A and B are shown apart, each in its own frame.
Chain A
Amino acid sequence: MPLDATIDPATHKFALVGTRPLRPDGIDKVTGRARFGADASAPGMLVGKILRSPHAHARIRAIDTSKAAKLPGVKAIVTRADFKEGDPGLRDVLHNVMARDKALYDGHAVAAVAATSAAVARKALKLIRVDYEILPHVTDVDEAMKPGAPVLHADMITANVEPAPKKASNIASRCEFGHGDPEIGFKQADLVIARSFKTEATHQGYIEPHACLASVGSDGQGELWVCTQGHYMVRNQCASLLGMDVSKLRVTASEIGGGFGGKTTVFIEPVALALSRKAGRPVKLVMSREEVFRASGPTSSASMDVKIGVTKDGRITAGTAEIRFQGGAFAGSPVEFGAMSAFACYDLEHVKTVGYDVVTNRPKQAAYRAPGAPMVAFAVESVLDELAKKIGMDPIELRLKNAAKEGTRSSYGPKYKRIGLIECLEAARRHPHYKAPLGPNQGRGIAAGFWFNFGGQTCVSLNVNVDGTVALAVGTPDIGGSRASMCLIAAEELGIGYEQVRAIVADTSSLGYNDISEGSRVTFSTGLAVIQAARDATAKLCARAAKTWGIAPDAVVWEKGYAKPASPNAGSFAPLSLADIAKTAGSTGGPIAGHCEVNAEGAGVSFAVHMTDAEVDRETGRVEIKRYTVVQDAGKAIHPSYVEGQYQGGAAQGIGWAINEEYVYGRDGRLQNPGFLDYRIPVASDLPMIDTVIVETPNPGHPYGVRGVGETSIVPPLAAVANAVSAAAGVRLSELPMAPPRVLAAIDAAASRRS
């Protein structure tokens, strides 16, 4: 749905879009009334718990549950045999939900129990005997690619390689993107820099652990309450894994305590349903924090080589990258997104990126905010920073000289429509932060970032109530305040007050299929669907007015909340408000509702530029972030406070990734830090205020010009912080996280090189 011809986003005066009303779910969330995943209960409810492999890689010879089954209070035990095999699309999902012949990582589920109390369930887990044959393991991406590495899957033949390899390996697939001939480009360069980079896996770190409440009756009908970013996905996958009809399973999305991509797959949900079906009672299953770290999330770790050439006057002549992501025990790391996005900010004649998707004995990676892009941006933007320094050019100037714009052929193929990277770079350069003086041991870093954004399948329903209020049902879980934005959009279209619209996230039986809340798609595509549903409703409202007035429906228009005759020729009638028409709906044709079912296309890509000042303690290697500014293109900000919130939250997560967070594996292949004490995410005292600038370069693919905003904000911070720390430390940091020992070692190494 293209940008409205009638709306010039630069000058158009929206009545409500762009204002900052209180969110409709706010009171519930500040009073403790909001119900999250673990907050539900049901009569007769049992407690479910999962037994997990303590080994990184082990053959499961046998599982003996007989002792556990005899424990009083144990009502059901499930293993892999309790799930339906055979759906090829869900093969790995099922393997991850419950191991079969092999446990592939520390934390891999092998069995589960439901019991009358948590204490009994815990005791039962201890009584289950699993006979493991421990196998050699591998957790590092580069190690896993070496010939002779322990192979996880005997049938894994690298895809997209000609000729196909004869032997199985841990390399699931290869991908390649780009155009031109980098060899020609590098010859045209005055300076070429090639560097290697590594990043560790980080966890999405949502504060709410995965939780669900499942209930399956002996008639095979099921209910599931769950914190998820996509309850339709949960329904479809669970139904398949349990051999149920999709219609028999109703899934309700609870309030969700953070997801960031990590709640876009099933983990415990099929297990809870299987337990409930076997026990004939409701089962609540909640992950502990340790389970969250060991068995859900994290993102990929990466190993990358980047090479970029520039001329003396700052024109990039070529860029190449080879990136290797391990995505845990199953194929599917976001290496393609990484390879596609690596050079997406720039207008390049010669560019090539190659990616390898690699499996290791770690939990299956899950999407994490702009999956794949932040690590690759770290590598590319670090090299650009170094190039700018070496040719003596301002880093923003270097990026402006090469910035992608409308018409640029992107490094991953398509030509860009209207985009806002140049606007972001210029806004960053104008920002007072960019000129502010730095203190001792401080450095400033800037970096740009790109994300695709997504549209997808969406269905909404908008019901006009008898008193002129409106009930809006959407099918995308609200992960960042989207109900507020949807109410704003509906009210804007209908010409009524924001408070007159109430938005709910409907369950899977009440609305057609909706894709997951992911890909920064909700404000874009659910918003687009709300606009269409509202316009569907106003058309019907106009028809009712026409009927009342006895004129043709097309002689009536909807304007600022009123049905009016389209022109004086149509007759002279006093305008009818939405409430007027709603009141008499029963006698003019029955209920009035607007609907929209759409596979939304036209999601506009978005860009951000971050800058930050870091201070390095040269004695300890500790990094402190002194100042941070986010500049990002939102297309059109519907509720600016929540747009800013996305910018700030992404920046904070990126800062954590850059300086602190990492999965630490021991030699035994076990995760060493599965808790918030040792996996330390930023706290309030670690961060400064995070300044934001909302740039609005309208997306030509949306009536109001909206672009997704949720993910781009985590793309630049790894690089921005690394550039700042490198400037402050006087040495280039090329591995994350930049924890004190690593920074100190780099400073010492640089000092000994100098002496």
Chain B
Amino acid sequence: MGEMMSKVKVSTTINGDPVEYLCDAEETLLDVLRDHLGLTGAKEGCGTGDCGACSVVVDGRVVCSCLVLGAEAEGRKVTTVEGLATGDRLHPLQQKFLEFAALQCGVCTPGFLVAAKALLDRNPDPTETEIRFGLAGNLCRCTGYDKIVRAVQAAAAEMRKG
């Protein structure tokens, strides 16, 4: 390959909207979201799959978008933190994170929300231990997780009420 790498053209769905973009073959989905599409909600905490700050949902599965290539999003459905709220209505997880003060600096919050939503989609009534293990791929350095776990429990209870 020469100096100029040819770009990959990708058609995908992000937060319900059809999106097309060109990316370099080696660019990650996280790079694409953040640098090309202006979706900076997902954060790069490590770039190696160890912190979960970049979590997004691809076809129903939580992935570290720093480990997925932008080209791999072709034909898939991607949900990012920006897609959790409906208009001005927050998702119950977002609401409970606020009420329970489950964020201090908030840089881990998008990743936690995305991972917690996927967890509750799978298991609407998780135990504390299931929540702790379900979110063990997400690092938070500020909170000690106590308030995050409580917020997820409260959101789960609310979502079960429907």
Residues in A lying within 8 Å of B, measured CB to CB: 20, 22-23, 25-27, 29-36, 38-39, 41, 72, 119, 204-209, 255-260, 286, 288-289, 479-481, 641-642, 644-646, 648-649, 651-653, 675-677, 681-685, 687, 689-690
Contact = CB atoms under 8 A, between A and B. Distances in A.
Contact of A689 (B44, B107, B146): B146
Contacts of A682: 144-145
Q: Report which residue of B109, B137, B149 has the largest number of chain A beta carbons within 10 angstroms of its beta carbon.
A: B109
A204 B98 CA distance: 25
A649 B143 contact: yes
10 contacts: A26-B97, A30-B98, A30-B109, A31-B81, A32-B39, A34-B106, A206-B105, A257-B105, A258-B107, A684-B135
Contact of B98 (A26, A38, A288, A646): A26
B82 A119 contact: no
Given A30-B113, A34-B106, A35-B40, A677 B45 contact: no
Contacts of B132: 684-685, 687
A684 B131 contact: yes
B17 to A, nearest CB: 15
B46 interface: yes
Contact of A25 (B39, B106, B107): B106
Interface string B29-59: 0000011000111111111101101000000
Contacts of B48: 289, 675-677
A32 B141 contact: no
Contacts of A642: 101, 104
B120 interface: no
Contacts of B147: 641, 644-645, 648
A30 B97 contact: yes
Interface in B81-139: 81-82, 84-85, 90, 94, 97-101, 103-110, 113, 128-129, 131-133, 135-139
B104 A690 contact: no
Given A255-B106, A649-B142, A685 B136 contact: yes
Contacts of A256: 105
A27 B141 contact: no
Nearest to A648: B144
A29 B135 contact: no
B140 interface: yes
A334 B98 CA distance: 36
B106 A257 contact: yes
Contacts of B133: 684-685
A439 to B, nearest CB: 17
A318 to B, nearest CB: 36
A653 B141 contact: yes
Nearest to B49: A677
B24 interface: yes
Nearest to B113: A30
B97 to A, nearest CB: 5
A77 B127 CA distance: 54
Given A32-B40, A645-B104, A649-B142, A209 B149 contact: no
Nearest to A33: B41
Contacts of B65: none
Contacts of A27: 90, 98
A684 B141 contact: no
A34 B24 CA distance: 27
Nearest to A655: B144
8 closest residue pairs by CB, A with B: A32-B41, A257-B107, A652-B144, A29-B106, A648-B144, A641-B101, A676-B50, A32-B81
B19 to A, nearest CB: 16
Contact of A207 (B26, B84, B90, B139): B139
Contacts of B99: 22
A35 B137 CA distance: 23
B62 interface: no
Contacts of B101: 20, 23, 481, 641-642, 644-645
Nearest to B140: A207
Nearest to A292: B46
A23 B24 CA distance: 39
Contacts of B137: 683
Contacts of B143: 645, 648-649, 652
A33 B41 CA distance: 6
Contact of B110 (A32, A481, A677): A32
